[in-house]
């Protein structure tokens, strides 16, 4: 088991390096720092001095890969590649355009993101599994049919509308909770209720339908017939046998998402003014703050890889057939 | 007073009635066997009795009385009490019929709790002969072998102390030596507990060993019901007789097997007369007019046929003489063929061992002859066949064809026919394109279009069928197409990998006849890979028996099958349930075949061998030559 | 006039040609014909297909672009306008040209906000176009609207009847549920379209937006963007996904390792961030090379295509992985072994035996991805990494309308219009996709 985890972590390294190379290529090779400076400063009538100043402020005034002027090791380290890409492995992301340290900013913003994402994840999973079980229990009935139609209809509405509609109805018409904002501690609850509920509703259509399909697939298997032949009731078959087996693909499908919960949700956070990583990202995108976007790409990939590892481990916990080698 | 009494039971699904008016009785403690080919409705009947029909099917009529209860009328809640309690069921696929994420013990306990049964899971596992039951109860199904899983299924069925056990093809998925073990367990338990059994099987041999009464099903109806002795000494219905005549065995060597033309009618068929009339060799005009009534032939034998007096005996078969043994130069010579698959482990995925799927196999096959490679699943026989054709790269050994060493360019001379008729034809190509593929790839000269038509006719199909798609054909027809595809490049040798084991016995007879005829006409050599001893006895000239990657005994068919010298061969032969051998002395093997990744030291067979000595564990025995053709790798062979 | 073939137009036409060719080819393939027949027999699928067909017609009309000739000045060479128009623009010219000053509610005759009128204090000014035919007789508005609705309904029925008769006369499956649902859907759509058409001749049926553009026009123009993103993305990524998926599965070894590495890397970057990074960089390229694009329409088109490409690059991994897994299974199939026994080459096996047996997966992916991509466009445009802000799309519409939600009373009509059209499009796509999957996937659970 330990050897397996070590091996997986070793496998993760080349992937992170790959991610790093892709971002490096995207940000510094496809476009030169000069291009970026020109765009940010306004394409027309920008003086070379202004470009140099912009680059110097951000540390983009070094050579890309090899600094022939620098002595010794510095030839490799005093480069954009080392300063901007390699240093990420030490969680040194540099500074954002507003001068703040990106690593610290990320650390403080994880908590609000998690405060939204975690309840959404748990409630959403619970609700979807419950509804899917309900539909499967009443399979091939009108309840099932209209349930599926309802799920498809729910899936067909853009997430934006759930947010806009929810804010309008709950905050503007009913005045139940503030329309947006965030506070630490116990006060957070009143700001969190609406975004959490809206996210759960927004995602429930597709996941319910997906889980229903998994349950139905499971229910056609031979062991279910065996369980019925034992004399088990339909409910006992569903909860005692089908649920456990169907939870394997469900759990392992969602475990990969758990680390990514730290990243927060772009839409929800920006609509509700929650100072998490999602809104941080979206602000950086809108402000074209390349350093922050790069940092988020790195963090996101890292968390995804952790998620993959957790998925494999979770397999061993829920499925006796899987032994990690 | 019968325990179970079924009257006019019918089951309907959208397409038609898979069960249509079935009636039979089972007395307490007795075994009734439902016999029939696939699609005749026997499994559907069993599921209907348990009221476990798939959601698309429903009981359309009739009555099922179990003791005093009318099963078609009781509410679902009461039915649940009967399921597993009064009547229990075991299924064909032990591999998929157990819940994979629940321990075996828990699954058995669940049944015990439900029906307030006595005893514990361990005791039940013990009762069905699972060694080390205390450990096994805590294990998951994937940790058990196929035979053990089926025993666990039986243990689960016994948990509610049922009066009736419904066994739906309980041993079809198992190897023949394991089948023998499981059948013995069933038999003993039945005797101990006075339990009645409804056995569903397509295998006449299994039925002969187990049943007290036999019911033959065809197209959703019973066509003959008889006590075992009556049925096996004189099957009455033409369909029953045809089933017997289609069985391959030594007595029919060289002769034509009787096969039933055509195939089972589709579900939607509307019948006006006898359902078998279209395929019956003895059909009369009256057969097509009205459904035949039941006729009593005495001694409990009843048949649904208007003309049974005519011939109430098993059809005699011609016995042809074997041609003289042609001591020809071998066409194919295989020496020390080995296929090892590496096992990788650890951080760096180092190879820590090998699965020795094929471990030093040597064979000779003269032109125009048939060599049967026999063994149970996992013995490496299919891998060996594929390695010959370089479909799997061999690890070691040499293959010489007609004196030439071959790498992988023997494509034209050696071809293969596969087991699964549904997987062996690309569903996206027309029949003509499928057959033309090899000719095109190997640039066979001549008019391909004309040749395709010729080949189709040669395998018993029509030339016009070239334009059709695979899904329009039945399993037997597909196997004919696969043979035509192989023949298209004029090979001298065909590797036949279980070509008939996915087929019903009547269709199997058609294919065996075809193969025999093609051999006679084209002088083909066959490497016939199979687990079916009866087929070997019928078609092969020479036999090689494989166990765990090695050939343990080989020789002429008479030598190996009549006078087997290796204990494994002897066990294998005696495990085959025979129609005619009542009370034959049997040698039942204990345990399962070990893993080829970790074979036992010395003779691979010694842990299961009833005659093993200390010497056997020391080293793998060398081949002992008993005759020019007969060789055995067993230390006892030389001594005896 | 000068025809301007935009790249996206060409690709869309190519896609349509492929669909037509595919349909013609599949008529001769028994299994495909059977599967399509199953789709055709499903009432919901055919109703959804009818709705989709209407959307496609609008989208295609909006994909035939040209630059109108300017009025000739003397004998000089003909000058063309800088504005690129589509056939749809030409058809909807009244809607396009009759723009107001700013917001107005659906069917209104006055602007939404009070303005100081010269000398008369603050009031709601009259619209320049909406309800202008009423003159000063504003009391007649209700009657006029009712009249137009009734005539429109009549028109809808009148257009539908010939269709109905044609179907009945030709006996094209008349009476079966699928044809019935096509007719029913067409009936409902015509009943809606008739009144809307007549009303829009005199009013802004769905109101106007901040700069006074007719919202109905904007919504109809958004359809093309949605369709393009939904289809071109998959079309662009298909070759890569199919090629790499099959190669990884069939060839195995280091090729497999490399391809798996590639898609694990791409997969590990959270989608939105990868898209954001790529779009930001693409923006830099487009902005620093203004000379590449003759018109702003071409520039917007380049950005749209680039977005499809980026979405494609980020989304091929799922399909490739699916195809790799399936190829691994197929290559062990006996018919592939049989072909190998004949010495058939790898490429030929992949083309003859693997690819045709994977096509149903590709088709299912194509239809299943469509709705997700249409929804994704809205979100990405909202985030600011979607289509060019000048491209009319559901995303840009929602984004613009969102700013005004805080207004009292609310400007709701842009949102409502975008919601309704998007919902219809995505729901129809989802239902159709479900039917296609059920018909083509051998393992589909019903």
- Residue A28 counted as domain residue: no
Burial B155-173 (b: 16+ CB within 10 A, else e): bbbbbbbbbbbbbbbbbeb
Tell me: do B78 and B193 sit in the same domain.
yes
Give the tens place of pLDDT for each residue, B144-174: 988 899 999 999 999 888 999 999 999 988 8
Instruction: Please check the confidence at residue C174 and state whether its pLDDT lies above 50.
Output: no
Contacts of B99 in chain A (CB under 8 A): 223, 226-227, 241, 244-245
Min distance A62 CA to chain B CA atoms (Å) = 39
Q: Which of C228, C275, C241, C254 is nearest to C380 (CA)?
A: C275
The pair of structure tokens assigned to B537 is: 């006895």
- Residue A134 counted as domain residue: yes
- Residue A24 counted as domain residue: no
Across the range B106-131, mean pLDDT stands at 87
Tell me: do B286 and B423 sit in the same domain.
no
Angle at B204 between CA B198 and CA B207, to 5 degrees: 30
Instruction: Please check the confidence at residue A167 and state whether its pLDDT lies above 80.
Output: yes
Across the range B366-391, mean pLDDT stands at 90
- Residue C242 counted as domain residue: yes
Min distance A4 CA to chain C CA atoms (Å) = 18
Tell me: do B79 and B105 sit in the same domain.
no
Place of tokens 């199979």: B530
Kindly determine whether residue A231 and residue B89, on different chains, have CB atoms separated by under 8 Å.
no
Q: Which residue of A has its CA nearest to C443?
A: A217
Domain at A184, CATH number: 1.10.3720.10
Min distance B339 CA to chain A CA atoms (Å) = 24
Kindly determine whether residue C334 and residue B419, on different chains, have CB atoms separated by under 8 Å.
yes
The percentage of residues in chain C with a pLDDT greater than 90, rounded to a whole number, is: 30
Task: Find the range with the poorest average confidence among B409-418, C115-124, C337-346.
Answer: C115-124
- Cβ(B586)–Cβ(B574) below 8 Å: yes
Cα gap B621→B603, rounded to integer Å? 6
Nearest by CB to B156, from A3, A230, A233: name it.
A230
Chain A, residues 94-133, CB within 8 A of chain C, namely: none
Helices (H), C117-252: 141-170, 177-202, 215-251
Please tell me what DSSP assigns to residue B293: P
Predicted confidence at residue B321, as pLDDT, reads 45
Tell me: do B113 and B79 sit in the same domain.
no
Which residues have a Cβ under 8 Å from the Cβ of B254 and sit 6 or more positions away? B319, B320, B321, B322
The pair of structure tokens assigned to B20 is: 């249509």
The pair of structure tokens assigned to C355 is: 């690819």
Kindly determine whether residue A305 and residue C268, on different chains, have CB atoms separated by under 8 Å.
yes
Q: Which of C33, C34, C341 best tests the B interface by mutation, with the highest count of B CBs <10 A?
A: C341
Kindly determine whether residue A263 and residue C375, on different chains, have CB atoms separated by under 8 Å.
no
- Cβ(C104)–Cβ(C208) below 8 Å: yes
Contacts of B93 in chain A (CB under 8 A): 222
- Cβ(C275)–Cβ(C379) below 8 Å: no
The answer to whether residue C351 neighbours chain B at the CB level (below 8 Å) is no
Cα–Cα distances (Å) from A126 to A131, A197, A222, A241, B234, in that order, read 9, 13, 27, 18, 64
Min distance A113 CA to chain B CA atoms (Å) = 36
The pair of structure tokens assigned to A42 is: 């306004």
Kindly determine whether residue B111 and residue A230, on different chains, have CB atoms separated by under 8 Å.
yes
- Residue C261 counted as domain residue: yes
| ipTM of the complex as predicted | 0.87
Contacts of C334 in chain B (CB under 8 A): 418-420, 423-424
Please tell me what DSSP assigns to residue B266: P
For chain C, the average pLDDT equals 86
Place of tokens 């005696």: B574
Give the tens place of pLDDT for each residue, B558-574: 999 988 999 999 999 98
Domain of B22?
A: 4-86+162-311
C270 CB neighbour count, 10 Å cutoff? 21
Kindly determine whether residue C343 and residue B427, on different chains, have CB atoms separated by under 8 Å.
no
- Residue B597 counted as domain residue: yes
Kindly determine whether residue C337 and residue B418, on different chains, have CB atoms separated by under 8 Å.
yes
Domain at C387, CATH number: 1.10.3720.10
- Cα C151 from chain centroid (whole Å): 30
Give the tens place of pLDDT for each residue, B274-303: 999 888 888 888 888 888 989 888 888 999
- Cβ(B466)–Cβ(B431) below 8 Å: yes
Q: How many domains does chain A have?
A: 1
B299 CB neighbour count, 10 Å cutoff? 11
Tell me: do B58 and B100 sit in the same domain.
no
Task: Find the range with the poorest average confidence among A13-17, B375-379, B410-414, C437-441.
Answer: B410-414
Min distance A5 CA to chain C CA atoms (Å) = 18
Task: Give the residue from B311, B346, B368 where a domain finishes.
Answer: B311
H/E segment holding residue A297: helix A290-318
Contacts of A7 in chain B (CB under 8 A): 346-347
Cα–Cα distances (Å) from C336 to B501, C351, C357, in that order, read 20, 11, 11
Min distance A263 CA to chain C CA atoms (Å) = 9
Kindly determine whether residue A230 and residue B84, on different chains, have CB atoms separated by under 8 Å.
yes
- Residue B135 counted as domain residue: yes
Predicted confidence at residue B598, as pLDDT, reads 85
Tell me: do B509 and B560 sit in the same domain.
yes
Contacts of C31 in chain B (CB under 8 A): 427-428, 469, 471
Q: Which residue has the higher pLDDT, C392 or A180?
A: C392
Q: Which residue has the higher pLDDT, A180 or B483?
A: B483
- Residue B639 counted as domain residue: no
The pair of structure tokens assigned to C6 is: 């935009």
* Segment of B119-123, B396-400, C334-338 carrying the highest mean pLDDT: C334-338
Helices (H), B159-306: 176-193, 204-210, 228-233, 238-246
The answer to whether residue C341 neighbours chain B at the CB level (below 8 Å) is yes
Q: How many domains does chain C have?
A: 1
Q: What is the DSSP string of B105-155?
A: HHHHHHHHHHHT-SS-HHHHHHHTT-TTHHHHTTS-GGGS-HHHHHHHHHH
Inter-axis angle of helices A2-24 and C253-268, to 10 degrees? 70
The answer to whether residue C187 neighbours chain A at the CB level (below 8 Å) is no
- Residue C178 counted as domain residue: no
- Residue C435 counted as domain residue: no
Tell me: do B72 and B124 sit in the same domain.
no
The answer to whether residue C29 neighbours chain B at the CB level (below 8 Å) is yes
Helices (H) and strands (E) in chain A, counts: 15, 0
Cα gap B358→B340, rounded to integer Å? 7
The answer to whether residue C380 neighbours chain A at the CB level (below 8 Å) is no
Kindly determine whether residue A285 and residue C280, on different chains, have CB atoms separated by under 8 Å.
yes
Domain at B470, CATH number: 3.40.50.300
Task: Give the residue from B143, B161, B179 where a domain finishes.
Answer: B161
Cα gap A21→A28, rounded to integer Å? 10
The pair of structure tokens assigned to B374 is: 């026999």
The answer to whether residue A307 neighbours chain C at the CB level (below 8 Å) is no
Tell how strand B196-201 and strand B330-345 pair up. Answer: unpaired
The percentage of residues in chain A with a pLDDT greater than 90, rounded to a whole number, is: 35
Helices (H) and strands (E) in chain B, counts: 20, 24
- Residue C299 counted as domain residue: yes
Cα gap B390→B15, rounded to integer Å? 45
Min distance A176 CA to chain B CA atoms (Å) = 46
Chain B, residues 327-386, CB within 8 A of chain A, namely: 345-347
pTM of the model: 0.88
The pair of structure tokens assigned to A129 is: 């599994």
The pair of structure tokens assigned to B471 is: 């899904």
- Cβ(B416)–Cβ(B494) below 8 Å: yes
- Residue B269 counted as domain residue: yes
The answer to whether residue B423 neighbours chain C at the CB level (below 8 Å) is yes
Split at pLDDT 50, 70, 90, the class of B524 is very high
Tell me: do B494 and B579 sit in the same domain.
yes
Cα gap A54→A34, rounded to integer Å? 9
Domain of A136?
A: 102-324
Split at pLDDT 50, 70, 90, the class of C42 is confident
The pair of structure tokens assigned to C377 is: 């466009």
Tell me: do B130 and B233 sit in the same domain.
no
Min distance A260 CA to chain C CA atoms (Å) = 9
Q: How many domains does chain B have?
A: 3
């Amino acid at each position: 088991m330990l050897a397996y985890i070590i091996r997986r972590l070793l496998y993760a390294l080349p992937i992170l390096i790959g991610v790093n190379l892709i971002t490096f290529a995207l940000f510094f090779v496809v476009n030169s720092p000069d291009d970026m400076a020109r765009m940010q400063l306004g394409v027309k009538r920008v003086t070379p001095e202004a470009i140099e100043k912009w680059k110097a402020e951000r540390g983009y005034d070094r050579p890309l890969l090899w600094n022939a002027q620098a002595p010794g090791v510095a030839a490799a380290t005093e480069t954009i590649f080392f300063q901007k890409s390699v240093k990420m492995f030490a969680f040194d992301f540099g500074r954002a355009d507003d001068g703040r340290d990106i690593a610290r900013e990320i650390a403080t913003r994880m908590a609000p993101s998690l405060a939204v994402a975690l309840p959404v994840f748990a409630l959403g999973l619970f609700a979807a599994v419950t509804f899917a079980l309900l539909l499967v229990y009443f399979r091939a009935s009108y309840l099932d049919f209209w349930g599926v139609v309802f799920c498809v209809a729910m899936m067909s509405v853009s997430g934006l509308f759930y947010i806009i509609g929810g804010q309008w109805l709950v905050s503007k018409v009913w005045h139940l909770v503030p329309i947006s904002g965030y506070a630490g501690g116990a006060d957070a609850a009143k700001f969190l209720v609406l975004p959490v509920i809206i996210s759960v509703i927004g995602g429930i259509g597709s996941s319910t339908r997906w889980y229903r399909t998994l349950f139905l697939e499971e229910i056609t298997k031979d062991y279910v017939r065996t369980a019925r032949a034992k004399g088990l009731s339909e409910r006992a078959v569903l909860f005692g046998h089908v649920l456990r087996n169907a939870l394997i693909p469900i759990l392992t499908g969602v475990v990969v998402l758990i680390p990514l919960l730290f990243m927060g949700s772009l839409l929800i956070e920006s609509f509700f003014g929650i100072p998490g990583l999602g809104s941080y990202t979206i602000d950086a995108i809108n402000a074209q703050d390349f350093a922050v976007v790069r940092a988020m790409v790195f963090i996101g990939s890292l968390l995804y890889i952790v998620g993959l590892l957790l998925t494999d481990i979770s397999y061993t916990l829920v499925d006796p057939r899987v032994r990690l080698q | 007073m019968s325990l179970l009494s079924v009257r006019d039971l019918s089951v309907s699904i959208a397409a038609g009635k898979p069960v249509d008016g079935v009636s039979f009785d089972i007395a307490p403690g007795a075994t009734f066997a439902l016999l029939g080919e696939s699609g005749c409705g026997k499994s559907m009947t069993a599921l209907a009795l348990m009221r476990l029909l798939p959601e698309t099917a429903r009981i359309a009529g009739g009555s099922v009385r179990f003791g005093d209860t009318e099963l078609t009328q009781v509410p679902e809640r009461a039915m649940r009490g009967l399921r597993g309690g009064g009547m229990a069921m075991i299924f064909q696929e032990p591999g998929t019929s157990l819940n994979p994420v629940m321990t075996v013990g828990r699954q058995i306990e669940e049944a015990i709790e439900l029906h307030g049964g006595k005893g514990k899971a361990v005791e039940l596992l013990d009762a069905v002969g699972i060694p080390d039951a205390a450990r096994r109860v805590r294990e998951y199904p994937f940790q058990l072998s196929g035979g053990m899983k089926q025993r666990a299924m039986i243990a689960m069925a016994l948990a509610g102390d049922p009066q009736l056990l419904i066994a739906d093809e309980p041993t079809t998925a198992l190897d023949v030596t394991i089948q023998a073990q499981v059948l013995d367990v069933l038999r003993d338990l039945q005797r101990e507990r006075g339990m009645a059994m409804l056995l569903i099987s397509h295998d006449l041999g299994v039925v002969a060993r187990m049943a007290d009464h036999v019911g033959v099903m065809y197209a959703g109806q019973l066509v003959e019901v008889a006590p075992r002795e009556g049925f096996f000494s004189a099957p009455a219905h033409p369909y029953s007789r045809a089933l017997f005549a289609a069985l391959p065995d030594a007595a029919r060597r060289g002769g034509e097997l009787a096969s039933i033309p055509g195939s089972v009618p589709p579900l939607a068929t509307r019948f006006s007369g006898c359902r078998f009339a279209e395929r019956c060799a003895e059909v009369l005009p009256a057969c097509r007019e009205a459904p035949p009534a039941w006729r009593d032939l005495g001694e409990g034998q009843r048949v649904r046929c208007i003309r049974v007096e005519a011939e109430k005996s098993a059809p005699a078969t011609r016995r042809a003489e074997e041609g003289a043994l042609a001591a020809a130069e071998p066409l194919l010579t295989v020496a020390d063929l080995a296929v090892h698959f590496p096992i990788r482990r650890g951080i760096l995925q180092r190879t820590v061992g090998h699965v020795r799927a094929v471990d030093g196999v040597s064979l000779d096959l003269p032109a125009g002859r048939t060599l049967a490679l026999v063994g149970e699943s996992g013995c490496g026989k299919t891998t060996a066949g594929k390695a010959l054709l370089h479909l799997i790269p061999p690890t070691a050994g040499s293959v010489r064809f007609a004196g030439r060493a071959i790498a992988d360019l023997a494509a034209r001379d050696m071809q293969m026919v596969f087991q699964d008729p549904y997987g062996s034809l690309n569903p996206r190509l027309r029949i003509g394109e499928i057959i033309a593929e090899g000719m095109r790839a190997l640039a066979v000269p001549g008019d391909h279009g004309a040749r395709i038509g010729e080949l189709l006719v040669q395998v018993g199909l029509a030339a016009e069928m070239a334009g059709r798609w695979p899904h329009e054909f039945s399993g037997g027809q597909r196997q004919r197409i696969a043979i035509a595809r192989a023949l298209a490049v004029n090979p001298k040798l065909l590797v036949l990998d279980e070509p008939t084991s996915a087929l019903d016995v009547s269709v199997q007879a058609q294919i065996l006849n075809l193969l025999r005829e093609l051999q006679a006409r084209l002088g083909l050599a066959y490497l016939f890979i199979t687990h079916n001893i009866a087929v070997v006895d019928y078609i092969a000239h020479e036999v090689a028996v494989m166990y765990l990657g090695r050939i343990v005994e080989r020789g002429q068919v008479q030598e190996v099958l009549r006078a087997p010298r290796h204990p494994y061969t002897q066990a294998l032969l005696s495990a085959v349930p025979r129609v005619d051998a009542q009370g034959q002395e049997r040698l039942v093997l204990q345990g399962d075949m070990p893993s080829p990744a970790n074979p036992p030291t010395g003779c691979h067979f010694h842990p299961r061998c009833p005659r093993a000595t200390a010497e056997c564990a020391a080293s793998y025995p060398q081949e002992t030559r008993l005759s020019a053709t007969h060789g055995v790798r067993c230390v006892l062979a030389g001594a005896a | 006039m000068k025809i301007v073939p935009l790249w996206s137009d060409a690709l869309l036409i190519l896609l349509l040609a492929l669909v037509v060719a595919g349909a013609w080819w599949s008529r001769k393939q028994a299994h495909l014909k059977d599967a399509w027949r199953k789709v055709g027999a499903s009432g919901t699928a055919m109703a959804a297909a009818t709705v989709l067909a209407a959307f496609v017609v609008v989208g295609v009309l909006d994909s035939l672009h040209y630059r109108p000739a300017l009025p000739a000045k003397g004998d000089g060479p003909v000058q063309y306008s800088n504005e690129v128009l589509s056939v749809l623009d030409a058809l909807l010219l009244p809607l396009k040209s009759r723009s107001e000053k700013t917001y107005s509610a659906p069917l209104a005759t006055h602007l939404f906000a009070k303005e100081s009128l010269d000398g008369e204090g603050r009031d709601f000014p009259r619209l320049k176009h909406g309800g202008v035919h009423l003159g000063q007789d504003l009391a007649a508005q209700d009657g006029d609207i009712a009249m137009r609705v009734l005539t429109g309904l009549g028109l809808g029925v009148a257009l539908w009847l010939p269709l109905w008769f044609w179907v009945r006369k030709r006996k094209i499956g008349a009476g079966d549920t699928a044809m019935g649902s096509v007719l029913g859907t067409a009936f409902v759509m015509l009943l809606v379209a008739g009144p809307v058409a007549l009303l829009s001749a005199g009013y802004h049926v769905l109101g106007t937006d901040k700069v006074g553009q007719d919202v109905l026009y904007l919504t109809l123009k958004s359809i093309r963007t949605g369709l393009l993103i939904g289809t071109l993305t998959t079309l662009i990524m298909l070759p890569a996904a199919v090629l790499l998926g099959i190669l990884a599965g069939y060839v195995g070894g280091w090729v497999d390792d490399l391809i798996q590495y590639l898609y694990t890397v791409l997969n590990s970057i959270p989608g939105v961030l990868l898209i954001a990074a790529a779009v930001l960089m693409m923006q830099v390229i487009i902005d620093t090379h203004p000379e590449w694009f003759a018109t702003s329409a071409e520039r917007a088109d380049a950005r749209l295509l680039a977005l499809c490409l980026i979405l494609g690059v980020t989304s091929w991994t799922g399909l490739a992985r699916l195809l790799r897994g399936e190829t691994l299974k197929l290559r062990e199939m006996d018919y592939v072994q049989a072909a190998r026994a004949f010495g058939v080459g790898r490429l030929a096996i992949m083309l003859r035996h693997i690819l045709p047996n994977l096509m149903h997966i590709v088709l299912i992916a194509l239809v299943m991805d469509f709705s997700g991509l249409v929804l994704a466009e809205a979100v990405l445009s909202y985030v600011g990494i979607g289509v060019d802000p000048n491209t009319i799309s559901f995303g840009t519409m929602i984004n613009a309308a969102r700013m005004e939600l805080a207004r009292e009373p609310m400007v709701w009509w842009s949102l409502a219009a975008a919601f309704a059209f998007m919902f219809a499009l995505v729901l129809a796509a989802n239902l159709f996709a479900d039917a296609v999957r059920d018909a083509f996937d051998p393992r589909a659970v019903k």
